[in-house]
Amino acid sequence: MSNVGGHIEQFDSPARRSEAVMLGMWVFLATEVLFFGGLFCVYGVYRYEYHDAFRLGSRRLDLWLGTLNTFVLLSSSLTMALAVQAAAAGRSRRTVTFLLATIALGTLFLGIKGAEYLHKYHDGLLPVAGAPFKWEGPHAGGVHLFLSLYVGMTGLHALHMVIGIGLLSIFAWLAGRPRWWALRRDSFDVLGLYWHFVDLVWIFLFPLLYLIDRTP
Amino acid sequence: MTEHSSPAVEGTPHPSNTRTYVTIYLLLLALLAATVGTAFVHLGPFNLAAALAIAFIKGLLVVLYFMHLRDAPRLTWLVAASSFIWLAILVVGILTDYWARRVFGPE
């Protein structure tokens, strides 16, 4: 297949190619919306059915670590946007710098999340894979459900973060190769879309899990 | 590593400059503070409404500016919007079912 100026011959122009690439990624993200959407639906039904239990469970999550993690993830979206911008301008060193910053922030997010999980496990509030569940007082069943959803939804989100950090690492490595760079410039936009989508999921997860009721 | 510069790819507009991104970022942080703040106030059912409204605004900022939907072709808009419309059908359909069972269900 011939390659002229970075665009493959079935496309009329590099612009058309780029549009097709981006559209494909948006279609993938649409399937991701519905994938996470199923879990948000389950959450909605059980929050309706076990309203008080969800309130009690939410109060046991670490609000400040959750807020800090939201801050970290929003910051990583800024560095990702700047990396994509640098890539579009053809500035490879700046691209790599911002990709590495995004990797660092993403790893920090996972570290904080891991610390939260560990703390919940020690408190008997991480009811997953046979881990003990300790709850004194009413609504034990509902709280168990809430915490299971908490682990399931944040766990699935964390898995997306792990995949994202892996992709970012590959891109940071490839970004230093001029030949690959010339052919695959719009891949950075695709990576950016993925990373921002993961941020988008967290934007909804955070208030729904951590902020149900914090009134004194 | 050497800085290799080549002209920007045609047809991939990135009109958003660094200043726009930083402004959006600061707005997102302000909205984060707002959503945490409202959780501490007694608003009854409006706590959930406020949390969702703020999350929607934050999500919209991310999608329009960080994900460049603002500058994307119409077809991309259609795909992005349809994913949320299908999600809305899923959520509204299931929740009205559970709500109706409780309100009109057999006693």
Is B72 at the interface with chain A, CB within 8 A? yes
Cβ contact B66–A38 (<8 Å): no
CATH number given to A11-210: 1.20.120.80
| B20 and B56 belong to one structural domain | yes
From B50's Cα to the closest Cα of chain A, the distance in A is: 10
* B17 and B39 co-located in one domain: yes
Tell me, yes or no, whether B19 and B53 share the same domain.
yes
pLDDT digits (tens, 9 = 90+) for B47-77: 999 999 999 999 999 999 999 999 888 999 9
B13 and B56 within one domain: yes
- Of A203, A41, A46, A59, whose CA–CA distance to A125 is shortest? A59
pLDDT confidence of A118, banded at 50, 70, 90?
Answer: very high
Q: Say whether A211 and B5 touch across the interface (CB within 8 A).
A: no
Q: Does B87 touch chain A (CB under 8 A)?
A: yes
Do B36 and B85 reside in the same domain of the chain? no
Query: pTM above 0.80?
Result: yes
ipTM of the complex: 0.90
Closest residue, chain A, to B11 (C-alpha): A15
Judgement on whether residues B81 and B94 belong to the same structural domain of the protein: yes
CB burial readout A51-70, b (16+ within 10 A) else e: eebbbbbbeebebeebbebb
Whether residue B56 is found in the same domain as residue B30: yes
Measured N-to-C along each axis, helices A92-122 and A140-174 cross at an angle, to the nearest 10 degrees, of 160
- Domain holding B88, by residue range, is 73-107
Are residues B66 and B91 located together in one domain of the fold?
no
3-class DSSP state of A119: helix
The reply to whether B53 touches chain A by the CB within 8 Å rule is: no
> Higher-confidence residue: A32 or A20?
A32
pLDDT tens digits, one per residue of B21-30: 999 999 999 9
